[in-house]
Amino acid sequence: MVDKASSDINLSSLDSFFNPASIALIGVSRDIRRPTGRSLNALLKWNYPGKLYPINPNHTEIHGLPCYPSLFDVPGEVDMVIISVPASSVLAALEQCVQKKVKAVVLFTSGFAEIGAEGKALQDQVTHLSRKNNLRILGPNCVGLVNLSNSVMASFANIVDLKPVYPMTLGFVTQSGAFGTLIFATAVAAGVGFSSFVSVGNEADTEFADFLYYLLNTEKTKVVGGYLEGAKNGAKLRRAAEQALKLKKPILIMKVGRTGAGARAASSHTGSLAGDDKIYDAFFRQMGIIRIETLSELTSFVIVHRSGRLPRGNNIGILSISGGAGVLMADKCESLGLHVPEFTGETRRVLEQYLPPFGSAKNPVDLTSAAVAQPEMLGNCLRALVADENIHMINVAIGFVPHNAPILAKDLIDVYQSTTKPIVLVTYNVSESEVTAKAVKSIEEAGMPVLQDHLHSVQALSNLAWYASRLRRPVEIKADRYTFKLEKEIEELIKKGGALSEHEAKKILAAYGIPVTREKIATTADQAVKVARKIGYPVALKISSAQIRHKTEAGGIRLNIKTDAQVRVAFRQIIASAKKYMSQAEIQGVLVQEMLQGGTEVIVGTVDDPVFGPCVMFGLGGVFVEALKDVSFRVAPLSRADAEEMISEIQGHSVLRGLRGKPPVNTEALIDIILKVSRLASDHKNTIKELDINPLILFKKDAKVADALIIKK
């Protein structure tokens, strides 16, 4: 179990990894083909401006630099040390770093937690040494880091040999060294420039979220990407995501392990539905993190984002020289949540003026092959789309040949510079002539994003539009409105170990301002009749026992009881069924409660995630919730916008608006309850393991909890 409470990230301590004035290399080799020699060679090759100190007792000089027997022999201060010695020698090397007052260590060495219990014990010693002495360590079992802006090549991977690409806007953090370097090399080949790259390895000290946060706060980094298998500290990751939204710098993460983790053992509906990946997915949507599936999503987004333009909405206009390509893009747009509105009015009139009779002035616009002979057609049609206030972004797909390339380039640049709308150019069938290459290059230099794949361009614009909507979305969490002072009885209930009965759970909910049914526990049939008369018929009768969590399975529920006689019969039947179902259960009595008539059943619950802590779930309620699994999650605490999204996100949300004559529910009451549940879970994250309100009955004017379950840690 991780420490979810701390989200502290010390930026100044991390700075020594990226801006060291001096670097020592323990275990360095003369052989640049070996991992122990590649880093020093790269530092020299790319003219690292600081001081370099090779450390190896077997040499007195390496590549023209004095080589020292140990770190103690190095004159002056050392900011960062790169260690590449066997695992058995690592602790001794780290002790030298401590005594030398080194600030940061990049630990290449493998043979730690990744090999089993013995390696894990050794890694624990590394962690202890790091924390005790405030020595920041990257790794072990990592390929290191590079900072392209100042040639800090603290890595043995082949990425240190690649020529930098400009502009350097992408910072990248990876939990996989080999795959991370493949991503780096592929992205560079696609024209994406990196500001920095970090492989975190086993995360004995520093971790994924630390470097994510650091890179966000560097000036050159405009986009941060990541390869993530699993976060160690959800609070840190949330802090990094909040900082990214504040700085308006997108985060794109390739999160793997969608199916491997499986469902955790749980006693409530919420727990059984909260698979690890569902929580990650919800967290990413909640915090504005773009979850990517492929490397092309990363590279195409970075190229499009470099323009600095964000769409004001989801409406896209498509111009294509190929009708088939246009339809393909339109289909992809709609599947990704973009809207492809048909052109009307002045836009339609202008398009029809310039298009041939066999072209299409709808959306997508089919320029047809006539645009090859009449290249000015593209510019005229593009101006019409730019002038349409209902279009928020434009995708242009057209081929370049020598005779039309200069005209196309001039028109595209002129139109692009006349607007702030995102425009992406997709080029295909480009001839290899110098004329066409020069034309496309001029378009790129003017700032217009240029891609070579229709679907990649659509994916990039979809991610850009989604991200822009996240920046417009309010994220403020008004905690004061949902802060409650609890009476001593409620505090004692919350401290009580194990599960609570329904009645006890409802007392806690009521203390948080959540409306619950009128009810009372009866220990005899006569008491049950008196309570039923006071509440008013019809009533519901339920077994009251903290041990019997699923009352229906125990035969412990009778609904719509309308007479005294029915109450007496139901009371006896419930007690008998409960004792037969679980003879050892402690039975408090029978809960007599008002019978809620009509309304719409939903479920609201919480589960304690091992990474992110308390998470809130919402879905349609009743007995089908686990079968349909139509639920949404968010990590607590929630903002109002989070609650609104949870409601609209489920497939069955239209039920809440009223179907077949059924009145719509009170959405405001539902939002209020979700936020109060979020506060309850946040306030008692160290005590409450799971919470279920199922069903919560929603009505036209209000809402009320019909059943509830709270399971303690």
Mean pLDDT of 248-252: 98
Q: In this structure, is residue 256 part of a structural domain? A: no
Mean pLDDT computed over every residue of the chain: 92
Q: What is the pLDDT of residue 499?
A: 79
More confident residue, 7 or 193: 193
Whether pLDDT at 702 is above 70: yes
What does the alpha-carbon distance between residue 394 and residue 86 come to, in Å, rounded to a whole number?
A: 55
- Is 537 contained in some domain? no
130: in domain: yes
Cα separation, 203 vs 144, whole angstroms: 12
In a domain, 704, yes or no: no
| Tens-place pLDDT, residues 114-168 | 999 999 999 999 999 999 999 999 999 999 999 999 999 999 999 999 999 999 9
**Residue 474, preceding peptide bond in cis (omega within 30° of 0):** no
Strands 519-522 and 589-594: antiparallel
Looking up residue 371, the CATH number of its domain turns out to be 3.40.50.261
- Enter the pTM of the model: 0.92
* Residue 560 is assigned to a structural domain of this protein: no
Q: DSSP letter for 516, please.
A: B
Residue 155 covered by a domain: yes
Q: Which two tokens stand for residue 678?
A: 């979020």
Whether residue 215 is found in the same domain as residue 319: no
Closest CA to 15 of 153, 202, 213: 213
**Residue 142 burial class via C-beta count within 10 angstroms: exposed 0-12, middle 13-18, buried 19 and up:** buried
Q: What's the rounded Cα separation, in Å, for the pair 165 and 452?
A: 18
pLDDT for position 447: 96
Give yes or no for residue 451 having a pLDDT over 90. Answer: yes
Please check whether residues 157 and 52 belong to one and the same domain. yes
Tell me which of 513 and 433 has the higher pLDDT: 513
Position 63 pLDDT exceeds 60: yes
pLDDT at 466 exceeding the cut of 60: yes
Helices (H), strands (E): how many in the chain?
Answer: 24, 29
185 and 334 inside one domain = no
pLDDT classification of 534: cutoffs 50, 70, 90: very high
User: Pairing state of beta strands 51-55 and 104-107?
Assistant: unpaired
413 within some domain = yes
Task: Work out how many domains the chain is built from and give that number.
Answer: 2
Is 266's pLDDT higher than 50? no
**Average pLDDT, integer, range 79-85:** 97
My answer on whether 446 and 343 are in the same domain is yes
Residue 446's pLDDT is: 96
Percent of the chain with pLDDT over 70: 95
Cα R_g (the chain), whole angstroms = 31
Does pLDDT of 10 surpass 90? no
> What is the bridge-based pairing of β-strands 365-366 and 450-451?
unpaired
Confidence of residue 430 (pLDDT cuts 50, 70, 90): low
Report the C-alpha gap between 412 and 448 in whole angstroms.
Answer: 9
Phi, psi of 677 (to 5 degrees): -65, -40
Alpha-carbon distance 625 to 634, whole Å? Answer: 17
How many Cβ atoms from other residues are within 10 Å of residue 86's Cβ? 11
Q: Are residues 184 and 332 in the same domain?
A: no
Q: Is residue 265 part of a domain?
A: no
> Three-class SS of residue 633?
strand
- At residue 147's C-alpha, the angle toward residues 146 and 153, to 5°, is 45
The pLDDT tens digits of the residues spanning 649-663 come to 998 888 888 877 678
Instruction: Verify that 333 and 189 share a domain, yes or no.
Output: no
**pLDDT reported for residue 268:** 47
| Residue ending a domain, choose from 470, 497, 529 | 470
Phi, psi of 513 (to 5 degrees): 75, 15
Q: What CATH number should be reported for the domain holding residue 216?
A: 3.40.50.720
Domain shared by 318 and 217, yes or no:
no
Cβ count near 535 (within 10 Å): 18
pLDDT at 624: 61
102-106, 299-303, 654-658, 680-684: segment of lowest average pLDDT:
654-658
Expressed in angstroms, the distance from the first to the final Cα of the chain is: 13
Instruction: Look at residues 428, 448, 470 and tell me which one is the last residue of a structural domain.
Output: 470
Cα(65)–Cα(22) distance, rounded to whole angstroms? 14
pLDDT band at 479 (very low <50, low <70, confident <90, very high): low
Question: What's the token pair of residue 296?
Answer: 């092309």
Q: Does an H or E element contain 330, and which?
A: helix 323-335
Overall average pLDDT of the 246-260 stretch: 87
What average pLDDT does this structure show over 167-175?
97
In whole angstroms, give the CA distance from residue 114 to residue 124.
Answer: 12
- Give the rounded percent of residues in the chain with a pLDDT score beyond 90: 82
pLDDT at 373: 85
Last residue of a domain, one of 470, 485, 513: 470
pLDDT digits (tens, 9 = 90+) for 305-355: 999 999 999 999 999 998 899 999 999 999 999 999 999 999 999 999 999
Average pLDDT over residues 176-186: 95
pLDDT of amino acid 35: 81
Query: Rounded CA gap, 113 and 115, in Å?
Result: 5
218 neighbors 195 (Cβ within 8 angstroms): yes
2: pLDDT strictly greater than 60:
no
pLDDT for the residue numbered 272: 47
Q: Are 54 and 67 in contact (CB under 8 A)?
A: yes
pLDDT at 482 over 80: no
Query: Do 85 and 210 have their domain in common?
Result: yes
Reported as a single tens digit per residue, the pLDDT across 371-413 is: 888 999 999 999 999 999 999 999 999 988 888 899 999 999 9
Burial bucket for residue 458 (CB in 10 Å: 0-12, 13-18, 19+) = buried
Domain containing residue 332 = 311-470
